Amino acid sequence: MNIPKDIHTHRLPSLPGTAIVNVAPDAFSPCKGEWYSIGIHPWHVTPTLASEGASCPPSLRHPQVLAVGEAGLDKLAAAPMTLQVELFRRQARWAEEARKPLLIHLVKATDELLKVKRELCPSVPWIIHGFRGKAALAEEYLRHGFHLSFGEKYQEAALCTMPACRLFIETDESEIAVRELYVRAARVRGISPEELEETVRRNVRTLFFRP
């Protein structure tokens, strides 16, 4: 069994099972040996989606689905924040019901995110993907129990402030190979790419392959 080193992407990896591929619930058609996350992006929120039933989609229980998301809150998206929060809260409950981590897309909505987290008191991990904020913001999220995933663009000070056990790497929509992202991030943190890969592999096992 391959352990994914890329926790969030929108493309099938060249080597099966080395990435968690994000798809919408109605587009889930698993390929053999691949891993997936399933969720509704805030860019795609509509009043109809926000008002649909709250039951957890059966696909989230599929053994190849490792996470819920990317769900999220984005003040630059077209949908009103009230609808985004409603659908985000529902997907967070799906994650609880399925006992799988929640992958979060977040843009300029920290207060709204923290409010939902305080309301729900989740037992599953919440991971903010594609983190680009400053070190102080990273530290705030860490205090609130989040994990952070870093892609092609980030503040080096924020990457350096991360405890090893709360860190992930992703390609998202970047054209840069995940191996190159590991090389760059390892250089910033002053360790070898192999050490960083082992760290993330251990984190993935702990969070995404929980018994």
For the record, the structure tokens of 152 come out as: 């092609």
Averaged pLDDT of the chain: 94
Residue 131's SS3 state is coil
Note whether 65 and 34 are within 8 A (CB): no
Amino acid at 71: A
Q: Which residues pair with 148 in a beta bridge?
A: 128, 167
Band (pLDDT 50/70/90 cuts) for residue 128 is: very high
| Cα-trace Rg, the chain | 16
Band (pLDDT 50/70/90 cuts) for residue 151 is: very high
In this prediction, residue 164 carries a pLDDT of 97
Distances from the Cα of 143 to the Cαs of 72, 140, 150, 163, in angstroms? 19, 5, 18, 12
Q: Which residues pair with 71 in a beta bridge?
A: 104
**CATH class in words for 6-208:** alpha beta
Overall average pLDDT of the 98-115 stretch: 97
Q: Which residues pair with 168 in a beta bridge?
A: 149
pLDDT-above-90 percentage for the chain: 91
Band (pLDDT 50/70/90 cuts) for residue 140 is: very high
Overall average pLDDT of the 120-142 stretch: 97
- Measured from the Cβ of residue 38, the count of other Cβ atoms closer than 10 Å reads 28
Query: What is the per-residue pLDDT across 32-64, written as a single tens digit (0 to 9) for each?
Result: 999 999 999 999 887 776 666 667 888 999 999
Band (pLDDT 50/70/90 cuts) for residue 121 is: very high
In this prediction, residue 4 carries a pLDDT of 97
Least confident stretch, 24-28, 134-138, 162-166 = 24-28
* CA nearest neighbour of 97 among 58, 42, 70: 58
Domain ranges of the chain: 6-208
In this prediction, residue 50 carries a pLDDT of 60
Phi then psi dihedrals of residue 70, to 5 deg: -85, 120
- Omega before 70 within 30 of 0, i.e. cis: yes
Residue in the block written with tokens 């054209």: 175
In this prediction, residue 61 carries a pLDDT of 92
Contacts within 8 Å (CB) and 24+ apart, 193-202: 196/169, 197/5, 199/164, 199/165, 199/167, 200/5, 200/7, 200/167, 200/168, 200/169, 201/3, 201/5
In this prediction, residue 51 carries a pLDDT of 61
Band (pLDDT 50/70/90 cuts) for residue 165 is: very high
Task: Provide CB contacts within 8 A for 59, sequence distance 6+.
Answer: 25, 28, 38, 65
In this prediction, residue 153 carries a pLDDT of 97
pLDDT-above-70 percentage for the chain: 97
In this prediction, residue 49 carries a pLDDT of 67
